[in-house]
Structure 1
Amino acid sequence: MMNSITLIIPCFNEEDAIPLFYKETEKIKKDLRGYQLEYLFINDGSTDHTLQTLRDLHSSFPDKIHYVSFTKNFGKEAAIYAGLRESSGDYVAVMDVDLQDPPEFLPLMLEGIEDENYDMVGACRVNRQGEPKIRSFFANQFYKLINKLSDTQFVPGVRDFRLMTREVVNSVIQISEYNRFSKGIFSWIGYNTKYLEYTNRKRVAGETNWSFWQLVRYSIEGIINFSEKPLAIASYVGLGSFIVSIIAIIFIVIRKLLFGGSAYGWASMISVILMIGGIQLLCLGILGKYIGNIYLETKKRPLYLIKEKDNTNNYEHK
């Protein structure tokens, strides 16, 4: 039986991009050392004709085009996890359907695994040309911040696009936590990893489904999931504000006793109250975020629900 590479492709409202992705990716199969490409599309609750496009593609190529359709939008992290669980190839790759992940990197990734003995070969953007400057700025600051806060190291510009051995896939599947941050998980599990650099590419079709605030929220999840330092920072901030308040009170009392100045005043009082109250709310918010994640984990809800898989309705959950 011919060895295979499973491509996991999360899709959310990508009806126009799917045919273009398939056409471009098929061009490189001759360079894959005889490995057969198996496409596994994950329809993440699309509201356009993505599901029908996948059905038609599967009907045309039933042996190599497969799909899983969720009951609703569970997010890209759930789609990646579902794809890893459903994959069957000797090697497994995660790719975006918009062709921002260059398919021609797959032969180079395969070379890195088979000739250089890497367990995983990923892709890393060296620039963010074409993105809004404000988004690029905050993305760069995120990597600087999380690498300072977390013991798990994150490569700036790293993508979910990577080729993995079956051993790596099995390790990722074992991490079944509800609050997922794949970039951190891929780094945390270890293994011998290589990154290929490339310049940023534009989408071939459609619009990005990630808004600025969604990316901010995703970044916060990454920090919360892979660092406990915000809790320590909140404690230090609270301790610092308490010390500053004590010093301020002592200063006001001494000034009153020595110089006869006023120890009263609505403006100063309100300012101090607002400052301390704001610090308390900040610390409570950080603590609440951690508690919220714990709450979601203890519920043991499935990460996703499958409504349809290769034209068969089986309503299963993982």
Structure 2
Amino acid sequence: MSTISIVVPCYNEEESINLFYNEVEKVFTQMHDSNMPYEPEYWFVNDGSSDNTLKILQDLQSRESQNVHFISFSRNFGKEAALAAGLTATTGELVTVMDVDLQDPPELLPKMIKLIETENYDCVGTIQHDRAGQGKVRAFLSSAFYRVVNWVSNVRIEPNARDYRLMTRQMVNSVLSLPEYNRFSKGIFAWVGFKTTYIQYESQPRAAGKTHWSMSQLLEYSLEGIIDFSDVPLKLATWIGAISFLLSIFGLIFVVLRALIVGGSVAGWASLVSIVLLLGGIQLFCLGLLGNYISKIYLETKHRPKYIIKEQK
């Protein structure tokens, strides 16, 4: 009987864990009744939760020790680290990544398995058909992010794609072969290639609890994704600097000719200050972009581990 490893990052999800486990178990029971001989291997990753998430995972693992495992970090390292730890621990022939809040419908798993078995896909991903309940501003910013990242990057990331996907062992091993500290999984899944297809589904509400992603965290995560998979911002900063330099040359020529032809003038201090502030802002913007790339290099050269495991069963 084949095994499907299920990687489930958890951060303060005490209300969702048992709900998630019960729903996924229902799907596998239905699969067995339909002659789909797969057994689940759960890998819950406690990402430094401050609630009772770890206690619930310990209780669940003690009850279902044959197929339920958990990893607990020493502190909060972020979802990307949790995904990396979970993928590293898996042993199944197929591996799926799912959110514990049940916004990733477990009932899609049989369809995803059939696509891999019958169409020889290496990965079946999922796309939210809509963004109901997210708010217009967040939905707009999300769409804008995908447009920008696909414009500046050589790797195409499917718009509105979720981390929820089913992958073959070969693809998972390829993902794990990338050693970088700064990880953006959606981009990594796309970068490694392999034959991939996507299925769409309607946006699902959380089964319990509240989202832990604030608007500022989403914006920071989006910026990291763009920087991790493109050097276009650096090139853009170079072009902005070059254009500003050319404009300043033309401006200097204009000032000299004006002084020679019509004479100087003490007027125009306000416009001069505005121009200086504009150029100063452009310089700081370019330095900020450069600083982001340097900070990424700095973190990579430290060779620190992506996470530290305190407990694993």
TM superposition score normalised by structure 2? 0.97
Deviations 1:247-303 (A, max 9, x none): 112222222322335265321221111011101000010011001000000000000
Whether 2:210 is the aligned partner of 1:207: answer yes
Q: Give how far 1:206 is off.
A: 0.6
Equivalent residue number for residue 110 of structure 1: 113
Equivalent residue number for residue 98 of structure 2: 95
- Aligned-partner residue type, residue 108 of structure 1: K
Deviations 1:54-77 (A, max 9, x none): 011111111011100000000000
Q: Give how far 1:132 is off.
A: 1.7
Equivalent residue number for residue 221 of structure 1: 224
Q: Give how far 1:200 is off.
A: 1.0
Whether 2:288 is the aligned partner of 1:289: answer no
- Does the aligned pair in 2 maintain the 1:253–1:263 contact within 8 Å? no
Whether 2:274 is the aligned partner of 1:275: answer no
- Aligned-partner residue type, residue 3 of structure 2: S
Equivalent residue number for residue 143 of structure 1: 146
Q: Distance in 2 between matches of 1:10 and 1:202?
A: 18
Deviations 1:175-214 (A, max 9, x none): 1100000000000000000101111111111111110010
Q: Distance in 2 between matches of 1:268 and 1:137?
A: 36
Q: Distance in 1 between matches of 2:198 and 2:206?
A: 22
Equivalent residue number for residue 174 of structure 1: 177
Paired residues, what number?
309
Q: Distance in 1 between matches of 2:205 and 2:256?
A: 63
Q: Distance in 1 between matches of 2:281 and 2:226?
A: 22
Equivalent residue number for residue 12 of structure 1: 11
Seq. identity, %: 53
Structure 2: where are the runs of 5+ without partners? none
Q: Distance in 1 between matches of 2:297 and 2:267?
A: 44
Equivalent residue number for residue 79 of structure 1: 82
Q: Distance in 2 between matches of 1:62 and 1:21?
A: 17
Structure 1: where are the runs of 5+ without partners? 311-318
Greater CA drift, 169-178 or 260-269? 260-269
Q: Distance in 2 between matches of 1:300 and 1:264?
A: 57
* 3-state secondary structure, aligned to 1:135: helix
TM superposition score normalised by structure 1? 0.95
- Does the aligned pair in 2 maintain the 1:21–1:98 contact within 8 Å? yes
2:201 to 174, 195, 198: 198
